[in-house]
Amino acid sequence: MARHGGRGWYGQVVAAALGITAVTVAASLWTAQAGPVDGHAKAGTSARHGAPKAAPAPAPASVSAEIAHASDRGTRGVNITIDDGPDPVWTPKVLQVLKEYGVKATFCMIGPQAQAHLDLVKAVVAAGHRLCDHTVSHDVTMDTKSEAYQSRQILDAERMITEASGGVRPLYYRAPGGAFTPYSRKLAASHGLRPLGWNVDSKDFERPGTAAIVATVKEEMPNGPTILFHDAGGDRSETVAALREVLPWLREQGYSFGFPVR
């Protein structure tokens, strides 16, 4: 999988990663796109007055550590994946296009971006889309870094996205630029995050023009069902316009829209 370099926009969030400490997520309840767990006594009660103690929440269910590419809709399924947001300008526009065509997508979010735009994370969830952990600082050299660094990037982002959503956990982990390692895949999988790859890189991040993005998707569709787009990192007007052409074209070709396999 090709790496995307030269993303100066992410320098704004790298500093945030340095001050974030690793978080333990084993105490959180995992279900596929489940809501938050209320394991605390109601206000005004206490254990000494007979309030029952909440049972410890189980650890997230482990999933396969293999990088997912297939669709849960089978051989004619296609997965739309949207990376690097949420963004206050472009994420709402992407959501609107998806709504118009009745398509559900997987949003791979940067932790600090999710924390900065809680309303957008909640809007993504409310519309029936899925969340994906795309790390804290989008470091495409993660596969050269220590295991401790990889762990902080993945688990801190998982916590930030879950908090921003109001308790809905991401279900996938996508390494920036495809910089997976055996360690990062196993760590993510142990926390219920299926490693997520892609088959079709729309190249929309390079802003080659709407026609070029559409042509790339059409040419690369034989490679497999998971298509990579972006909703942040700069002007994404070409992406929005390309989605308006690509989504109906895919349906005309007999594809149905699903989610990556878990």
Active-site residue numbers? Answer: 83, 230
Whole-angstrom distance, CA of residue 104 vs CA of residue 8? 29
CB 117 within 8 A of CB 150: no
| CA nearest neighbour of 154 among 5, 20, 9 | 20
User: Amino acid letter at 44?
Assistant: G
Backbone angles phi, psi at 258, to 5 degrees: -140, -160
Residue 228 bridge partners (DSSP): 81, 201
- Could you give the CA distance from residue 187 to residue 182 in angstroms, rounded to a whole number? 9
**Position of tokens 């998982």?**
158
Neighbours of 21 (CB within 10 A): 7
Distance between first and last Cα of the chain: 20
- Two tokens, residue 76: 């004619």
CA distance 132 to 134: 6
